[in-house]
C-alpha cells in the first residue's frame, strides 16, 4: 500500500470502500504525523484529533454496513481557518478573532460532513486572507516544505503546506487574487479556483464579496475534481451562489487533449512584466508538452496585465476596507503590519474609482469571453517570480502583484495551478490552465493530461521529523 | 496627488475625514503609503469601451423576489 502520508483521495477511497484500509487507521496515521512533524512547518492552527477520530470511527462503521456515501467518505481533510466549523473559533489567523466561536458550519464544511469526510483541523493563512506571512501575530506563519526559509505562498498557506508535507490528502482554501493558486504554486500541489458562484461562500469570512472564491486543494488532479464535486452546488442562503449544477469533471477527465485549442497568454510574462527565466522556460516546455499530446496551442492577446491588476486591486481594496473599517479605525495595532498595509489604501478609494473599476471589470470580462470564443482553454504563468525569503517583508510586498492569477478573479472563470517543474533543484514552478465560466471539466481534463505526462505533481519534498520548532 | 501628500496637514486632514487619526498617530509612514496607493488613478478602459455607455453591473430587483 502507498505510504498513508501521501495516499491520494482516489486510491484511499477505493481501499476504504473495499475495507482494505480503515478510516481510523488513515486518520490516526495523519494525526501522528502532524504531531511529530508540524512543529517544523506550522501548517495547523488547531488539530481536532478527538472529533476526527470520532468521525473516522463513524465512517468505518457505516462502510462496514455497506453504507458508502461516496469518494470522500472517511477521507481526512484540512480547512483554512476562515471556514466556520460549529463550536470552533474562525480566527482568520488574527488576534482580532481569537474569541470568536462559530454557531454553525460553513456550507462547504456541512457538505463535507454529509459526505462523511473527516476534518483533521484548521490550518494557517495570511491574516484575513490578505497581508502576508507575518511574525507579529499570535501564531507563526506556515513554512514551505520544499524550503522552510522560503515563502510558501498565500493566503491559503497552511492548506498547501499540509498537502505537501503529507498531513492531509485534501484541503480547502479561498482565492481573491490568487490565494489558492499561489500557495499551490509555491508548494508544488494542485490548486483550483472554480467559477464564481460554483462553490458557496456561506460561512466563509469574506475578504471581498465580489472576488472571493472557495477552492479545492490536493496533490493530484483527479483528487481535486473529487473534492470540487463534494463542495460544489447551490446554496440558497448565499446570494452569490449559482443556480446550476457543476459539470461532471470526472467522466471526461482522462480523455486527453488531442485537438483542443489552447490560447497562450504569453504577453503577460514576455512583455507586460518581468518574469523569472525559469518560470518562462517551464511554461514554454509545458506548452510543448501539450502540443506533443495533440493540443493546438496558439498565442492570444488580452489587455495588459497592469490593467487587470488595477481592476482587481481597486475592487479588493474598497470591498476589504468596507469589511474591516471599524477595526482599522479603532484598533489598527492589532493587525499584522502587512495586513494593515493591504487594508488601509481602501480608505482612500473614492466611490467613483470603485465604480470605474466595476466598469473596467465588465469590459475585461467581455474581452476574455471574446478571446475564448474559438478556444477550449488558455494557459499562462501563475507566479512571475520565484518564492522569496519568508522573513523579508519588503521582498514579499514587491512580489504581491507580480503574478497572473488575479486575472481570473476579475473574470470569475475557473483556473487551476499545476506544477511545471523545479528551479534550482527543489523550487516548484507552475502554470495556470484557465477555462470558460462553468467549464471546470475542460480545465481538469487538460490539467490531468499534462500532469500525467510530466509527473511533476508526483514529486514530494524531503520531510524530516521535527528537529526544531520554527517561529 | 503625491505632491499634496508631502504636506503633513493634508494627510492629517485626509485621515480625519476617515476617522483614522489613531492609525495615523501610530503608523504615519504606513498611512502615507496607503493614501498614495488608494488615491492612485485607475487605468483607462480598453479601447471601444466608454463609461457613458457601459454601466457597472446593473441593479436587478428580481433577485430579491425570493426574500419577500
Cα–Cα separations (whole angstroms), residue A215 to A121, A165, A178, A393, A460: 17, 19, 10, 26, 22
> Which chain B residues are Cβ-neighbours of A356 within 8 angstroms?
42, 45, 51
pLDDT(A1) > 50: no
How many residues comprise chain A? 471
Best B42, B50, B54, B61 residue to mutate vs chain A (most A CBs within 10 Å): B42
Question: Given this model, what pLDDT does residue B62 score?
Answer: 75
pLDDT(A50) > 70: yes
> Which chain B residues are Cβ-neighbours of A317 within 8 angstroms?
37-38
> Which chain A residues are Cβ-neighbours of B33 within 8 angstroms?
341
Separation between Cα atoms, residue A272 and residue A282, nearest integer Å = 18
Chain A residues near any Cβ of chain B (below 8 Å):
236, 239, 303, 306-307, 310-311, 314, 317, 328-330, 332-333, 337, 340-341, 344-349, 353, 355-360, 362-364, 367
- Whether B34 has its CB under 8 Å from any CB of chain A: the answer is yes
All three cell numbers of A137: 501575530
**Three-class secondary structure of residue A389 per DSSP:** strand
Residues with Cβ within 8 Å of residue B17, at least 6 apart in sequence: none
In terms of pLDDT, which residue wins out, A90 or A469?
A: A90
Question: Given this model, what pLDDT does residue A466 score?
Answer: 59
Best A130, A236, A344 residue to mutate vs chain B (most B CBs within 10 Å): A344
Domain ranges, ordered by start, for chain B: 1-42
- Whether B5 has its CB under 8 Å from any CB of chain A: the answer is no
The answer to whether the CB atoms of A329 and B14 lie below 8 A apart is no
Burial category of A323 from C-beta neighbours within 10 Å (exposed 0-12, middle 13-18, buried 19 and up): middle
> Which chain A residues are Cβ-neighbours of B14 within 8 angstroms?
348
pLDDT(B1) > 80: no
Q: Which of B44, B38, B32, B24 is nearest to A350 (CA)?
A: B38
Give the pLDDT confidence of B6-56 residue by residue, as tens digits.
888 999 999 999 999 999 999 999 999 999 999 999 999 999 888 887 778
Give the pLDDT confidence of A405-433 residue by residue, as tens digits.
999 999 999 999 999 999 998 899 999 99
The answer to whether the CB atoms of B42 and A347 lie below 8 A apart is no
The answer to whether the CB atoms of B19 and A311 lie below 8 A apart is no
ipTM: 0.91
Residues of A marked as catalytic:
80, 155, 179
pLDDT(B68) > 70: no
Q: Which of A150, A146, A157, A151 is nearest to A188 (CA)?
A: A146
Max Cα-Cα span within chain B:
52
Burial category of A107 from C-beta neighbours within 10 Å (exposed 0-12, middle 13-18, buried 19 and up): buried
Give the pLDDT confidence of A169-200 residue by residue, as tens digits.
999 999 999 999 999 999 999 999 999 999 99
Q: Which of A329, A336, A338 is nearest to A97 (CA)?
A: A336
Can you tell me the mean pLDDT for A451-466? 91
Amino acid at each position: 500500500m502507498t505510504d498513508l502520508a501521501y495516499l491520494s483521495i482516489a486510491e484511499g477511497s477505493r481501499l476504504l470502500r473495499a475495507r482494505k484500509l480503515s478510516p481510523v487507521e488513515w486518520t490516526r496515521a495523519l494525526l501522528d504525523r502532524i504531531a511529530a512533524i508540524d512543529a517544523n512547518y506550522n501548517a495547523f492552527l488547531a488539530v481536532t484529533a478527538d472529533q476526527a477520530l470520532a468521525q473516522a470511527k463513524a465512517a468505518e462503521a457505516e462502510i462496514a454496513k455497506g453504507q458508502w456515501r461516496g469518494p470522500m467518505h472517511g477521507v481526512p481533510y484540512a480547512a483554512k481557518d476562515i471556514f466556520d466549523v460549529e463550536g470552533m473559533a474562525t480566527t482568520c489567523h488574527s488576534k482580532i478573532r481569537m474569541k470568536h466561536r462559530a454557531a454553525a458550519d460553513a456550507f462547504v464544511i456541512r457538505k463535507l460532513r454529509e459526505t462523511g469526510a473527516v476534518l483533521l483541523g484548521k490550518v494557517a493563512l495570511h491574516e484575513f486572507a490578505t497581508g502576508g506571512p507575518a511574525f507579529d501575530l499570535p501564531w507563526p506563519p506556515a513554512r514551505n516544505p520544499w524550503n522552510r526559509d522560503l515563502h510558501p505562498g498565500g493566503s491559503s498557506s497552511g492548506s498547501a503546506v499540509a498537502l505537501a508535507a503529507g498531513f492531509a490528502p485534501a484541503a480547502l482554501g479561498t482565492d481573491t487574487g490568487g490565494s489558492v493558486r499561489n500557495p499551490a504554486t509555491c508548494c508544488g500541489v494542485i490548486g483550483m479556483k472554480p467559477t464564481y458562484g460554483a462553490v458557496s461562500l456561506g460561512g466563509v469570512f469574506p475578504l471581498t464579496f465580489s472576488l472571493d472564491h472557495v477552492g479545492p486543494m490536493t496533490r493530484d488532479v483527479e483528487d481535486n475534481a473529487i473534492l470540487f464535486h463534494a463542495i460544489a452546488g447551490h446554496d440558497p442562503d448565499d446570494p452569490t451562489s449559482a443556480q446550476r449544477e457543476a459539470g461532471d469533471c470526472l467522466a471526461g477527465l482522462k480523455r486527453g487533449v488531442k485537438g483542443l485549442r489552447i490560447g497562450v497568454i504569453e504577453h503577460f510574462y514576455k512583455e507586460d512584466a518581468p518574469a523569472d527565466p525559469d518560470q518562462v522556460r517551464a511554461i514554454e516546455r509545458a506548452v510543448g508538452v501539450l502540443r506533443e499530446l495533440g493540443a493546438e496551442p496558439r498565442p492570444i492577446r488580452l489587455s495588459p496585465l497592469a490593467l487587470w491588476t488595477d481592476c482587481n486591486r481597486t475592487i479588493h481594496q474598497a470591498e476589504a476596507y468596507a469589511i474591516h473599517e471599524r477595526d482599522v479605525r479603532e484598533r489598527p495595532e492589532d493587525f499584522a503590519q502587512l495586513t494593515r498595509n493591504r487594508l488601509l489604501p481602501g480608505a482612500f478609494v473614492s466611490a467613483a474609482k470603485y465604480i470605474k473599476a466595476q466598469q473596467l471589470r465588465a469590459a475585461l470580462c467581455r474581452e476574455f469571453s471574446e478571446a475564448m470564443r474559438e478556444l477550449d482553454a488558455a494557459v499562462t504563468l501563475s507566479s512571475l517570480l520565484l518564492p522569496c525569503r519568508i522573513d523579508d517583508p519588503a521582498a514579499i510586498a514587491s512580489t504581491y502583484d507580480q503574478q497572473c492569477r488575479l486575472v481570473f478573479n476579475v473574470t470569475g472563470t475557473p483556473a487551476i495551478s499545476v506544477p511545471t517543474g523545479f528551479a534550482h533543484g527543489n523550487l516548484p514552478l507552475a502554470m495556470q490552465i484557465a477555462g470558460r465560466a462553468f467549464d471546470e471539466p475542460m480545465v481538469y481534463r487538460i490539467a490531468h493530461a499534462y500532469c500525467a505526462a510530466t509527473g511533476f505533481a508526483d514529486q514530494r519534498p524531503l520531510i524530516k521529523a521535527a528537529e526544531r520548532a520554527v517561529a | 496627488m503625491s505632491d499634496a501628500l508631502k504636506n503633513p496637514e493634508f494627510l492629517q486632514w485626509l485621515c480625519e475625514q476617515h476617522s483614522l487619526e489613531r492609525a495615523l498617530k501610530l503608523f504615519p509612514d504606513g498611512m502615507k503609503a496607503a493614501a498614495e496607493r488608494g488615491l492612485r488613478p485607475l487605468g483607462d478602459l480598453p479601447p471601444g469601451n466608454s463609461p457613458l455607455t457601459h454601466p457597472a453591473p446593473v441593479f436587478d430587483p428580481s433577485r430579491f423576489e425570493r426574500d419577500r
